[in-house]
Amino acid sequence: MIKNIYKQLWNQRKANIWIVTELFLVSIFLWVIADQLLFQYNRFNRPMGYDIENTYTIWLYQLNSSAEGYISEEESGSNPLDDLLTIFSRLRKVEGVEEVAASTCSRPYSSCNAEIMFRSIHGNDTITHSGIVRIVSPEHFKVFQIQTPDGHDPVSHPFQRQSVLSKDLADSLKVSRGDSITCDWANIPLFADICTEIRYAETWDDVSNGYLVMPEAELVRNQWPQDISIRLCDNLSEDQRIAVWENIKAACHINNFSFFLSRSYKDIRKEYVSYTVDEIKSMSWYAIFLMINIFLGVIGTFWFRTQQRRSEIGLRQALGASRRSIFTQLITEGIILLAVVIIPTVIVLINAWYLDLLSPNGSVTRFLFCMLTTWLLTMLMIIVGIWYPAWQATKVKPADVLHEE
């Protein structure tokens, strides 16, 4: 049977060459669409390296010296730096607050970034690699539950300056926990701890992160933190949350400081990624629209091809062929035509992958998965395009089909 099918396909090669060309182009387009959709899905759903559940950022309001009600340092007996440290201490005592952290240009989904060079020394060799610098207090890692690759607190020395490198940056610098590194903002050697890889946002490519960790008092006095982040305890009822926020507002009121505004990091995330998410949704709809057109095109081609062979189907039935054998032959022909394009399709895609013309961060697994998905979808289109018109043709009596001819 297979030999006869090959012979028939060869005899119809002038018509089949156009079908093979169409299947070749369709296979490439479907693979690219599947690869792009899978890439976006994987990138959006990979672990972030931190947790923003029950986390909030707080803004404080500070009266200036010309404002009504301003309290001078002579009257209060303290300065703004001491007042800020007192606010941190008060917030930690609020029942329902799990942890409080100070940071500068370091909160998740912040548009404040600074890229510097990190260096590690290995004998006479120095390895240099760029990374986004984050200035934080040790509590930052507890607020956002950032951990070492083996699940521990990454800050070994909370009462002195040190660094915490994301695993990808540590690997690039070839450093292990306990080694020393320097950077553009710290010429003295810093003890290096390592945390999991930290992603900037779901819609961003991966970036290396290096944390400069300072004790809270030192950070407040030297940097004046731009961000105050807090984590509330889990499983708080609505009434308990309302009470917690009232206590937080009261804790923030000292001399010229008062509570101004708070936002959940979930809301910040939603706003930050909304534009890119809309772009991804639009791209997905375009891809779906293109796939529908491809489906209709391939189904239509094989539908027309099968419809043109009604007389042949009727003749085969007249000679005693069963419906099953007719279906099997027609579908086998379609699968053989698809098999013809497999090798050239793989060659083209491997070369495109090698030349970095496809989605970044490709892997053999993703390549094979997209290829398998492409072939299965194309095979499904071929079967649909053959089955229904062939089924209609086999319902007609052979004598009627031959009479029409």
pLDDT in tens, 302-319: 777 777 776 666 666 677
Of 199, 232, 265, which residue is a domain's last? 232
Q: Amino acid identity, residue 225?
A: P
In a domain, 55, yes or no: no
In the prediction, which pLDDT does 138 show?
93
9 and 117 fall within a common domain: no
Domain total in the chain: 2
pLDDT in tens, 160-177: 889 999 999 999 999 988
CB-CB neighbours of 252 under 10 Å: 21
pLDDT at residue 101 greater than cutoff 80: yes
Candidate from 94-108, 117-131, 375-389 with smallest mean pLDDT: 375-389
277 and 333 fall within a common domain: yes
In the prediction, which pLDDT does 146 show?
94
Give mean pLDDT, residues 39-43: 83
226 and 278 fall within a common domain: no
Of 232, 263, 287, which residue is a domain's last? 232
Burial of 69 per CB tally in 10 Å (0-12, 13-18, 19+) = exposed
pLDDT in tens, 230-254: 999 998 999 999 999 999 999 999 9
Residue 79's pLDDT band (cuts 50, 70, 90): confident
29 and 146 fall within a common domain: no
**Distance of alpha carbon 354 from alpha carbon 348, whole angstroms:** 10
**Model pTM?**
0.77
Domain that holds residue 329: 2-45+273-404
332 and 388 fall within a common domain: yes
* Contact status, residue 62 vs residue 70, Cβ threshold 8 Å: no
Nearest in space to 99 (alpha carbons), one of 247, 259, 229, 237 = 229
Nearest in space to 138 (alpha carbons), one of 84, 86, 180, 88 = 88
pLDDT in tens, 349-382: 888 887 777 777 777 888 888 889 888 888 888 8
122 and 223 fall within a common domain: yes
In the prediction, which pLDDT does 393 show?
65
In the prediction, which pLDDT does 398 show?
60
In the prediction, which pLDDT does 74 show?
85
Of 203, 232, 261, which residue is a domain's last? 232
In a domain, 289, yes or no: yes
